[in-house]
Structure 1
């Protein structure tokens, strides 16, 4: 194992491999670090290795030269992943870094042939990393994710994360955003609110009937149209919310890939949703965000956007952020939600909506 204090030759880096985070939100929060890397090495070839579905978003991010989809171990098996990573040796990367903290990600990175491999020293990952970065449980749990991810790339000679210079571009096969929105009655330059009631786990999502009541209240008070964002699996929930409002006032965004969703969010006046990847994607598009936090903490995974463009609703329970081993360490509410989330009322969120709308609609 190479000692971490060993100097990295940052003058002759021409090819970089980044093993990106698995979750969409984490992948977005890693982008300011990648932007700083791109600024430092404008001529280097930067390759992102990433799991689906984050790969379809990163294909539109201007910071990368190449996107490689990592096989899903649940669908394709671990042996397929190993064979995949060993084939990457032919690209002869000068240096590599791994954002995820898993044993598997560090092991797979070691199979790529990159002579320098940087990542957090967790468990026995040091066996596979040439430059392990020291950390502890407190940092892993409580450090702001922007800073946490930046520490992985700091050995490249970077000074600080860079929010500038990040853009999402659509590809030729992506449908025009204005046409997609017009198909559901949203005109160009019309102010509307995007509501995302889902999350990666149902225990992380505020009750959908509360999103429905909130939407009804906002329509009555402001007369804005509301567009619901969700996956195919969430469609029954979106249909239930849609029924709470007069015809035409609540629409459901047609199914799009993540680049298309990003462009639709760019056109959005305000995003309201749970602590989720879509919240972070909204912030990336510089769309004002109202985020609802329960088990997570905005101090660690809050939206990366100017303070005047965000409003956080959280009861700030002392156990937050938790390990999210739901109901092994806390009891569920009657609705099978953690109390840190279920105790948030419609009034709490509608008051937050009033505050942010008063700022962005002046």
Structure 2
């Protein structure tokens, strides 16, 4: 078995890591070695791209998928979870979308392995590419998807199940995960920003909503509790900024209590949109805004792909250099985050935390000042309105 540099979360139990490595050794011993087959591009026409995790992971892939479609004649099939189907099905540079709900990525108990296997077994493709490098993904794709060639990474185990193991760039931004695939397919060098346009992000217009010429969007939600900022901090920030510029607040009802929702709704110059609009309509609100404030979530990545100035309150749960939003221009994305002992330098990997100090140490005062600095740079307020 070759030497593998694994990519495990610092929070992953040692027993789990030992179990994965043991399974990996057994696989390399028992699974017939791949024949290193490499099909000519003339021999296949359909590529299936796999991203079964959450919305932010999928959003970060979109510029690379746009490039792949733009410079090749391949039929692009996108394999995603049902929660991401709404956006995926509206992508103009994707030819088809297939749903597969992996129970190990689900944030509810409504999925089953039997259903998951049934979904995978309906897929027929020439080449299938999984960006995650996960033993579980590699196992189920290997044995239940009909394909000619399986390409991916071995950093989470299961490399013996792949036909082609691509070199993985540790500590590199996730937007670069497609580069090894492009090299394998012998595609010319490219820059994602040369192909991506903000209109490539799907949205749904809201005809009855009249926007001011300039406004701030605050998105208060994120999928993991460990990445949340206290709602009372958001309220303080929204109240202060609403004195300078209209503020639209987006999110879902579960992001805050009824009392907190009522406080925000009563603020002058604030438009509460929480729970009112679909995800595509919420994207439309972001598309119209001047500045965006959010957490480590899919919506922060969407705002960045819409080429907005983005300020993200970033937790210590993941490596910021790997998972920060994609930038199209200098200083487009500003990360506000605190270095704390428990983030291990590359993130703690936690989805839930009893005391997420990495977020609570970010004060409303510094967020308000950074927002006002950004508004001044955008020529929306005077530089006299913030305090160093």
TM-score (norm 1): 0.83
The alignment status of 1:207 with 2:240, answered yes or no, reads: no
Counterpart contact for 1:150–1:161, Cα < 8 Å = no
What is the 5 A alignment of 1:214-253?
Answer: 214-220=237-243, 222=244, 224-236=245-257, 239-242=261-264, 245-246=267-268, 249-253=270-274
Name which of structure 1's ranges 61-70 and 308-317 shifts more when overlaid on structure 2.
Answer: 308-317
SS of the residue 2:175 aligns to? helix
Structure 1 244/340 Cα, relative in aligned 2: closer, same or farther at 3 Å? farther
**What's the CA shift for 1:277?**
0.9
Aligned length: 333
Change (3 A) 1:61 1:360: farther
1:156 aligns with 2:178: no
Matches within 5 A, 1:164-179: 164-166=195-197, 167-170=200-203, 176-179=205-208
- Cα distance in 1 for partners of 2:83, 2:310 equals 22
- Per mean C-alpha deviation after superposition, the further-off stretch among 71-80 and 201-210 is 71-80
CA-CA distance at 1:213 after TM superposition = 0.4
Whether the aligned pair in 1 keeps the contact of 2:290 and 2:309 (CA below 8 Å) is yes
CA distance in 2, matches of 1:309, 1:83: 43
Does the CA contact (< 8 Å) of 1:288 and 1:310 recur in 2?
yes
Following superposition, the deviation at residue 118 of structure 1 comes to: 0.8
Offset at residue 211 of structure 1 (A): 0.7
**8 Å contact from structure 1 (residues 212, 244) kept in 2:** no
1:117 aligns with 2:150: yes
Shift of 1:134: 4.1
Partner residue of 1:319 out of 337, 344, 351: 344
Shift of 1:241: 4.9
Confirm whether residue 28 of structure 1 aligns to residue 56 of structure 2.
no
User: Aligned partners of 2:274, 2:90: CA distance in 1, in Å?
Assistant: 20
* Counterparts of 1:100 and 1:278, CA distance in 2: 21
Question: Cα offset for 1:11?
Answer: 4.1
1:126 equivalenced with 2:147 (yes/no):
no
Quote the residue 1:44 is aligned against. Answer: 74
**Distance apart, 1:243 and its partner CA:** 5.2
SS at match of 2:78: strand
Q: 1:71 to 1:343 in 2, by over 3 A?
A: closer
Cα gap change, 1:297 to 1:135, in 2 (>3 Å): closer
Over residues 286-306 of structure 1, what are the superposed CA-to-partner deviations in whole Å (9 max), with x where a residue is unaligned? 222110112134322112122
- Give the C-alpha shift of residue 165 in structure 1: 3.5
How far apart, CA to CA, are the structure 2 residues paired with 1:156 and 1:281? 28
TM-score normalised according to structure 2 size: 0.78
CA drift of 1:204 comes to 0.6
1: CA distance, partners of 2:256 / 2:234: 14
> Which stretch of the first structure deviates more once superposed, 147-156 or 343-352?
147-156
2:78, 2:98 within 8 Å by CA — same for their partners in 1? Answer: yes
Is 1:268 the counterpart of 2:289? The answer is yes
CA shift, 1:208, in A, is: 0.8
Q: CA deviation at 1:122?
A: 3.1
Any stretches of 5+ residues in structure 2 without a counterpart? 1-32, 104-108, 381-388
CA distance in 1, matches of 2:173, 2:179: 10
Q: Which runs of 4+ in 1 moved over 4 A?
A: none
Show the counterpart of 2:309.
288
* Alpha-carbon distance in structure 2 between the residues aligned to 1:156 and 1:162: 17
Contact 2:52 2:102 in 1 (8 A): no
